[in-house]
Chain A
Amino acid sequence: MYRATLVSLTCNVVLVLVKSTALFLVNSLAIAMDLGISIVGLAVSIILYYSIRLSIQPADHVHNYGYGKVENVCEGMEGVVLIGIALAMSSQALVGMLHPNPIRLPWVGFGSSMVNVLLNFGGAYYIFKMAAKSGSPAIYAEGLHFKLEGYISGMIAAAFVITMALGAHGSDALADYIDPLAALLVSVCVIIPSCKLAKSSFFKLLDATIEEDSQMEVLKQLNKHIDKYCEFRDLKTRTAGRKKFIEFKIIVPEDISFKKGHEIVSALENDIRANIHFCEVTIKLHPCDKDCEFSRREERCPYLR
């Protein structure tokens, strides 16, 4: 996981340097927006490095459930800051549409944007691999950030091609509108996924349930052992970073031995842990209240085998 944050950090440093140089030479609003996103990315990479170190620390007396939620905080921060940048830049882009400024050296802008495309997609590919391996939502969010930046740099490169084409055809006045238009489109491209990212992280911070696939898996394992307990109740799940917490009660015959009850709980816990990675399972045993047909007919409880 540290390798993913180091790759992210290195890529962001190089991207900031390339974009700063391009901005100085080209004077483009779209490149300024792209640079702003990379500066945010660099700040988030540094925060991510320390977040990962904190999130893998074991639970202690102060944080009984561990430090996993710091990754969701990181996710949320990234989403909110990107929304802020997109809104600020879109207002600048609208001003730019009203008072367009000619850009300099569009071929330099095109070249630097293509370099950015390669760096971003290359970084995203590696970081997604690391995210899949570690199950870390913060590293996954970082991969999404790089992928998004890759598409944005691609759009900016296309904008420079259009600018050069219009310039070559003598439409310099029209060409001056392409840059602020590209900046506006970039804002729209950033706002939508950033809102989704922020929303997802806030839901997890508010203890939303685990994802549907994992919920199905819990039910699958409960079904596997369905002939061992009377009922299950109060199934609750939540996430903290990459850790999933699953708890529920099972109702068993009141005459069951402690050993038998423990075997049922252990079997369920082991099967759930084997099929859902990074999870903590808490199962409480409750005795039945004998409010069933077997008790009324004085028949032997089928779960006492």
Chain B
Amino acid sequence: MRIREQIDGDELTMFLDGNFDESSGFVVEGELDKIMSKNIKDIILDMEDVKYISSIGIRVLMLAHKKSIKSGKKITIANIFGKAREILEMVGILPLFTG
């Protein structure tokens, strides 16, 4: 998976491109942990180019949501479509990131 970050003041957008699974899940988790320790208030995960999310990806997202609450930050998901969106809806975690 390719990861690109764009910072705009205290808002960071992380563009993810590829499958969010066993091979990329821990890399994304590491990047999110680094961001959580920085002075960023809003984190946006742009998942327009994410085709598939496995259970590892779901786990990383749920942990990121919990860490964001713990550190007073806000994490949202933008531009999620197709199979990836279906999986988040099936597990029921999409409202955690779009509210």
Interface residue? A231 (CB, 8 A): yes
Is A212 located at the chain interface by the 8 A CB criterion?
yes
Report the nearest B residue to A251, measured CB to CB.
B66
For chain A residues 162-189, which have a beta carbon within 8 Å of chain B? Answer: none
B62 within 8 A of A: yes
Q: Mark B51-72, 1 if CB is under 8 A from A, else 0.
A: 0001100110011011101111
Residue A262 lies at the interface, judged by CB distance under 8 Å to chain B: no
Q: Is B91 an interface residue (CB 8 A)?
A: yes
Interface residues of A in 199-232 (CB under 8 A from B): 212, 215-216, 219-220, 222-224, 226, 230-232
Contacts of A215 in B (CB 8 A): 55
A293:B96 contact, CB within 8 angstroms: no
Interface residue total, chain A, C-beta cutoff 8 A? 17
* CB 8 Å contact bits of A267-305 with B (1 = contact, 0 = none): 000000000000000000000000111000000001000
Q: Are B62 and A293 in contact (CB under 8 A)?
A: no
CB of A223 within 8 A of CB of B62, answer yes
- Given A215-B55, A224-B92: A293 in contact with B72 (beta carbons within 8 A): yes
Known: A219-B62, A224-B92. A212 touches B70 (CB 8 A): no
Query: Contact: A219 with B59, CB < 8 Å?
Result: yes
Residue positions of B touching A, CB distance < 8 A: 54-55, 58-59, 62-63, 65-67, 69-72, 87, 90-93, 96
